[in-house]
Chain A
Amino acid sequence: MSTVASTADKTTWEGGSRPFNLSYGKMMMWFFILSDALTFSGFLAAYGLMRFKFIDSWPIAEEVFTHVPFTHSPQPLLYVAFMTFILIFSSVTMVLAVDAGHHMKKNKVVLYMLLTIVGGLIFVGSQAWEWKTFIHGSHGALETRSGNILQFVDETGKPVNIHSFAIGESERIADTRDKGVWFSEDAHAIPSINVANVTDGFKANSKLRIKTENIIDGHKEILSHAASLEKIKQAVGVVEGANMIHNEYGKPLFANFFFFITGFHGFHVFSGIVINIIIFFNVVLGTYEKRGHYEMVEKVGLYWHFVDLVWVFVFTFFYLV
């Protein structure tokens, strides 16, 4: 068993025994999982700390993550819920594979591992799509000199795309490389409308309101049309999408944390898929039948469940809380 001093000491210390009744590989996988869990806890704690500092102006998750692929009507958090379901389901197929391995049923192991890999690929693809949508932005916003974001809503509170009411286009000419000596491409695509266009459009439409970052009573503050007209004078630029520098949803810190934590997690999922594929091929080739046990499947299953576990926490702290 464990560290109990007894007459069994001789055999314990002369090697060949298994502490905790575990094989070396499985114990090491558990220890690795523990250390990785500490890493992610550190990241999430840092996220909590920074979010607390900006708690009065942090973006509200249901307003940011509303897109669902192949549809145009926004549904808050629906796609993220789907992603969670996919990952939990792939966890289930993984544990079923492990269970089949215990009974030495090779065909079942093959089937369930294949389903797990497919589930993982769907999750990673979905996460990539979420990133793309997030980077691309939804409605656009104006940024003030101090970095505050002004979004636009109609009188019912529904978000309005800045392109839908802006008047005119910005007269910026995109130069090409042959026009000058010192040419550099734009780091990010410049919006096709500027502050003046948006302001003109806003003044012309009395139904529009500005939604600021401040949170009052759990909702973002919406200014009256008159107060908005005052506020809009402070705008210095148009922001579309989210990257490390500008973020149409709110503080750039929100985008930074989103990319970093979901990116780290997505990378773990990806590496888990790669490892699963390798073990899958080993199963198909009969390596574990020959070996007499499917413990490798179990070890890889532990890693996959860990990935699912981290997602459960990331999902809660990013999207729900």
Chain B
Amino acid sequence: MSHDTSHTKRIWFVFFLLLIITVVEVAVGIVKPTFMAAHAFLGLKLLNWFFIILTLVKAYYIVYAFMHMENENKFFRRLLVISIIFYVSYIMFIFLLEGSALHDSFMGGSAKFYHMSKDF
């Protein structure tokens, strides 16, 4: 299984891309610009959206470029990527939903998630 062309150029390109993204992430994580920390979208701070989106970009490049997923068979790619995306999306959704319910009941009072009486 040998390739005709060397992929070193792409590899170094991806490395520098990952490096720059990491540096930006850490810098923003330390500085925490007030604009991003104050505003939220769909229940997540803009700051956290920034980190999560950049992390997904890094994950894409690691899987597709470094793990050579982009060279794999189309159906095999979909087999793995779609499975994990479905699973993780659902888990994140349900855990955040339940987490906020736990938080509300922990903070003492909101029964709206479970419609329970407070006679515990």
- A residues engaging B (CB < 8 A)? 1-3, 20-22, 27, 30, 34, 37-38, 41-42, 45-46, 48-56, 61-62, 76-78, 80-81, 84-85, 88-89, 91-92, 94-96, 98-99, 102-104, 218, 293, 295, 298, 301-302, 305-306, 308-309, 312-313, 316, 319-321
B102 within 8 A of A: yes
C-alpha spacing A249/B73, complex, angstroms? 48
Question: How many angstroms from the CA of A80 to the CA of B88 in the assembled complex?
Answer: 25
- Which residue of the partner chain, among A45, A91, A94, contacts B91 with CB atoms under 8 Å? A45
Q: Which residues of B contact A3 (CB under 8 A)?
A: 75
A166-B65 Cα distance, complex, nearest whole Å: 55
A99 touches B91 (CB 8 A): no
B81 to chain A, nearest CB (A): 10
B26 contacts A104, C-beta separation under 8 Å: no
- Please state if B51 and A320 are interface contacts (CB–CB under 8 Å): yes
Q: Is the CB of B75 within 8 A of A20?
A: yes
Chain B binding surface SS class: helix
Partner pick for A53 among B76, B84, B91, B103, CB 8 A cutoff:
B103
* B103 proximity list for chain A (CB < 8 A): 52-55
**CB atoms of B84 and A49 under 8 A apart:** no
Query: Closest 9 CB pairs between A and B?
Result: A52-B99, A20-B76, A20-B73, A316-B55, A81-B26, A53-B102, A2-B75, A49-B99, A49-B95
Determine whether the beta carbon of B98 is less than 8 Å from that of A85: no
Q: B72 within 8 Å of A by Cβ?
A: yes
Instruction: Give chain B's interface residues, CB within 8 Å of chain A.
Output: 1-3, 6-8, 11-12, 14-15, 18-19, 22-23, 25-26, 29-30, 32, 37, 48, 51-52, 55, 58-59, 62-63, 65-68, 72-73, 75-76, 79-80, 83-84, 87-88, 91-92, 95-96, 98-100, 102-103, 106-107
**Residues in A whose Cβ lies below 8 Å from that of B14:** 92
Q: Say yes or no: B62 contacts A305, CB within 8 Å.
A: yes
Beyond A103-B2, A321-B48, A321-B52, whether A302 also contacts B18 by CB under 8 A is no
15 contacts between A and B (CB under 8 A): A21-B73, A22-B76, A37-B84, A48-B95, A52-B103, A54-B106, A77-B29, A88-B19, A89-B15, A96-B11, A99-B6, A102-B1, A305-B63, A305-B67, A313-B55
Instruction: Specify which chain A residues have a CB less than 8 angstroms from the CB of B80 in the assembled complex.
Output: 30, 34
Among the listed A34, A53, A84, A218, which residue makes an inter-chain contact with B99, where contact means beta carbons less than 8 Å apart? A53
Residues of chain A with a CB closer than 8 A to B66's CB = 91-92, 94-95, 301, 305, 308
Quote the shortest CB–CB distance from B79 to chain A (angstroms): 8
Q: Are A41 and B6 in contact (CB under 8 A)?
A: no
